[in-house]
A and B are shown apart, each in its own frame.
Chain A
């Protein structure tokens, strides 16, 4: 398989996952803000921070008010992390590999982009926002389904899944980091009702709430949430699961030894983590380590398969 094609598949997976995750985050934040009292004003700034676009955002906007942030995250083409940019990039990637992916998948990706382009104003009004974002999410899920159900599970498919899981791992760590650092007080004993709400929103951002509830029947507590999101290998958006998926996909590819070794390093560090003790700075540092680890893994993949030297 050509390196260019493999690279495009990998990024197709990443961009689609990114659009979906961004839609989920906005949806959840909209809901959360409606529940919180005016005195606890979390606002929209953390959404900008999750994707590390603070600088770009403030170069174009004075205030992180709802209107600006929504526009920035949904429809702003200057923001490469916006839903429209991610979908546009996904479409361009898919276009160059149309012969590789099933026709239906290409058509659906095309359709998704057109839908987002024509309807992104719907994200501004609270009334129509949910429907718009849900459509983005569901369309993505459909594409994932088409790919799983109709594409040969060959090397190309492995690259697609690698991209998807790397992006998912990246997003999971970002959400945990931003939400816990800037929003949540780590008062372990005195759980206020609102902290509860906030941890719920972290779970919901990752569609983990329902699954968490089935696993952990107790009251929502930070260590349990962290444990679930980081270490529950049966939950498809947990960090451990995504890493294992990448490893699993790599095993179908040639020359995977070095990359897998790199994954094991990150995985071992993750498995040693004690969610109970991960508070404030410690949690932030730990997440930083994980992010760096993910970067190293992705660099190694790039080097091994896409940009190898002569």
Chain B
């Protein structure tokens, strides 16, 4: 037999499937038993089956390469799913809804009355220094007060078993297409498990997304025109843009396909002439969205689209300026923000976060930098970070300097030991660290994906799960134990 759970070492770790060597968690018992009975040949066959399914489905992300232009690369996929008990998930779901609701109220407040600042809960000077606060959005409130229609929040679990929110992505979070496609692949690879276990489906996301977007339409018509605005084929997430457009039956457009008329309405150029657009699910950053207002050099955007948006003639999802609430300094305030707007205690805790802008917290960070993770406020994708325990003394000094020069731009967190799950290495299993990115849709109501995208660091010991830096993914099963 290829997989021996007795040899699987989880000391000092929290493993998502096993509570100790050879001891699966209750909801993972059937799966572990099934895997234990597979021969090497079967494992290789299933892996090959998954690989070819990924090939056939064309699940890729794009990497730029000088010689060939852009190339599509298949994202590493592990055939062992990550399981979560439905009971635990329901609590997480409530926590995510609470969080996104409060964040949307926060953004709306910042661009309007700024009560949270007046009441002394959020410091005014933090807002002044925020790169993502857009003056152009001041005094505006989108329909229903929703700014971040689509949010991707990254969850991690530490070795004590506590689930934390690591960060919120309120601008153009990506990855949901991989969540959907991973499930399709798994249904081909392990159909038996889907019969045996009560695994909650994920595939209503596309229609939920469509419904949410359609509800944002400024025109009250039966079939509003929804488009997905992509930067184009060279973007690393182009596959996802095309995929979501296709799933929703929406046009996939580039900036040059859209034009804003003198009536401040958005139109797309079709072979029938100009055709009115109601909702733009934009997958390009604020800075490139409208050359009239933001980066004048941008050829990806649509001149005048901000005018159209402010005139209420088009819905933009996510709303420009939403990013103000996802920088890593604001993150540290989220528990206070939830308390302030909802008068509730935070359900999903933040990772303890030291704000370098506060003198005593900064002193602590400078002192303990070797054991901490330091993050710049406005970067994503794992760039510009310091992982203290994995860095040299020289790098520690470099970041000490960076922090002292611009304390507002840095936060620090203790180094968490992320939870693991069994991951195939050849025909054996080894623990690999992972996180989870659920997606939260906010419209008339708030909906959370069933589970989300599990990203796994394929390199032994690594905790970097980003696709651009050697990460892979797993299917995520929310298992209903009571129903089985």
Contacts and interface: CB of A to CB of B under 8 A. Distances in A.
A3 B233 contact: no
A254 interface: yes
Nearest to B243: A99
Interface residues on B, range: 20 to 34
Contacts of A254: 271-272
Interface in B285-333: none
B270 A3 contact: yes
A310 B262 CA distance: 10
B391 interface: no
B251 interface: yes
Contacts of B233: 95-96, 98
B314 to A, nearest CB: 17
B254 A4 contact: yes
Interface string B257-292: 101010000011111111000000000000000000
Nearest to B261: A310
B271 A305 contact: yes
Given A2-B269, A4-B269, A95-B233, A310 B252 contact: no
Contact of B273 (A96, A99, A308): A308
Contacts of B269: 2-4, 308
Contacts of B272: 254-255
Interface string A1-29: 11110100000000000000000000000
A6 B271 contact: yes
B253 interface: yes
B37 interface: no
B21 interface: no
Nearest to B227: A2
Chain B interface SS verdict (over half): mixed
B170 interface: no
Interface in B239-254: 242, 245-246, 251-254
A207 B278 CA distance: 51
A253 B268 CA distance: 18
B232 interface: yes
A76 interface: no
Given A2-B268, A3-B269, A99-B252, A310 B232 contact: no
Contacts of B273: 255, 308
B61 to A, nearest CB: 14
Interface in A69-110: 95-96, 98-99, 103
B256 interface: yes
Contacts of B267: 310
A57 to B, nearest CB: 27
Contact of A2 (B58, B257, B261): B257
A209 to B, nearest CB: 38
Nearest to A307: B269
A3 B252 contact: no
A308 B270 CA distance: 9
A253 to B, nearest CB: 6
Given A95-B233, A98-B242, A103-B58, A2 B253 contact: yes
A210 B128 CA distance: 79
A310 B274 contact: yes
Given A254-B272, A310-B274, A99 B242 contact: yes
Question: Interface centre among A2, A3, A95, A255, by most B CB within 10 Å?
Answer: A2
Interface string A143-175: 000000000000100010000000000000000
Contacts of A96: 232-233
A305 B269 CA distance: 9
A255 B272 CA distance: 7
Q: Which 6 A-B pairs have the closest CB atoms?
A: A3-B269, A305-B271, A99-B242, A254-B272, A6-B271, A1-B271
Given A2-B270, A4-B257, A6-B271, 9 more contacts: A2-B257, A2-B268, A2-B269, A4-B269, A99-B252, A254-B272, A255-B272, A308-B274, A310-B259
